[in-house]
Amino acid sequence: MMLELKNITKKYRKGEEIFTVLEDVSFVLGKGEFLSVTGPSGSGKSTLLNIIGGLIHPDAGTVLFEGADVYESSEKQLSRYRKENIGFVFQQFHLMPYLTLYQNIKLACHKPSQCLQIETLIKKCSLSSLKNKFPSELSVGERQRAAFIRAIISEPVLLLADEPTGNLDPDNSTVLMSLIQEFNSNGGSVIIVSHDPGTAKLANRHISLHSGRVAIY
């Protein structure tokens, strides 16, 4: 199995209080699968994506990728895991503020052939006239589309997308979803947090989080 989560638990401490964000979350994802994740605000969706993406250590449980324990590896291996396998569309985008839209995407390319795709994707996402602007000069939806292109430009094995259409108008949302579908039909695996019923239809599997537990498979 490509990705296996086994009994993932994550807690945060605030003073004396311990707050459990994820409890005993387990599921598997095969290559080419498309999983959608829903759940109320605060149910742990972003935390879950961050754990899968190699960014937040769980307190208990294991994340296996191609059979290897992601969090048992060295920092160097962990960063290689992120770089080689994961494309991440963060809920807050996390574009580099001092790089232009184009430079943000270019930075994520691993091969010259990937850089050649930038212009095409920028055009598809109606960003051509904005490519030399800095993130602070862009609307939220424009930043979100730029963050999306950055996530797929390196042709990752697994795309983790945190509400990637949350700020988009219907037309841009349709373009982005068709790019995700294309990514998926070319063999890429997808985990998407989305409340959009259209997205759920594209996914071939679904889980719902409730108070940090998987409520619906």
Ligand X SMILES: Nc1ncnc2c1ncn2[C@@H]1O[C@H](COP(=O)(O)OP(=O)(O)OP(=O)(O)O)[C@@H](O)[C@H]1O
The residues that touch Mg ion, with contacts defined as CB under 5 A, are 45-46, 91
The DSSP annotation for 67-125 comes to TEEGGGS-HHHHHHHHHHHEEEE-TT----TTS-HHHHHHHH--SHHHHTTHHHHHHHT
Q: Nearest approach, Cβ of 193 to ligand X (angstroms)?
A: 7
Per rule CB under 6 A, is residue 44 in the interface with ligand X? yes
Q: How many CB atoms lie within 10 A of CB 113?
A: 9
Is residue 91 within the footprint of ligand X (CB under 6 A)?
A: yes
Cβ 128 vs Cβ 186: under 8 Å: no
* Closest alpha carbon to 192 in 29, 23, 10, 2: 29
Are 50 and 56 a contacting pair, CB within 8 Å? yes
Shortest spacing between CB 13 and Mg ion, in angstroms = 20
Among Mg ion, ligand X, none, the one that 144 touches (CB under a kind-dependent 5 to 8 A) is: none
Q: For ligand X, which stretch binds (CB under 6 A), given 43-51, 60-68, 119-127, 171-179?
A: 43-51
CB of 200 to ligand X, least distance (A): 15
- Distances in whole angstroms, Cα of residue 100 to Cα of each of 65, 88, 119, 207: 33, 19, 14, 36
- Choice between 21 and 95, CB closer to ligand X: 21
Is 164 exposed, middle or buried, given 0-12, 13-18 or 19+ CB atoms closer than 10 A? buried
Alpha helices (runs of H) in the chain, residue ranges in sequence order: 45-52, 75-85, 101-108, 112-115, 118-124, 140-152, 170-185, 197-202
How do beta strands 205-210 and 60-65 pair? Answer: unpaired
**58 contact, one of ligand X, Mg ion, none, CB 5-8 Å limit per kind:** none
Q: Which is nearer to ligand X, 57 or 110 (CB)?
A: 57
Asked if 210 is part of the footprint of ligand X (rule: CB under 6 A), the reply reads: no
Q: Which of residues 13-42 bind ligand X (CB under 6 A)?
A: 21, 39, 41-42
Place of tokens 């990752």: 156
Shortest spacing between CB 73 and ligand X, in angstroms: 23
Span of 45-53, 82-90, 128-136, 171-179 interacting with ligand X by CB under 6 A: 45-53
| CB of residue 206 to ligand X, shortest distance in Å | 15
CB of 129 to ligand X, least distance (A): 31
Nearest residue (CB) to ligand X, 11 versus 124: 11
Contacts to ligand X by CB under 6 A: 12, 21, 39, 41-47, 91
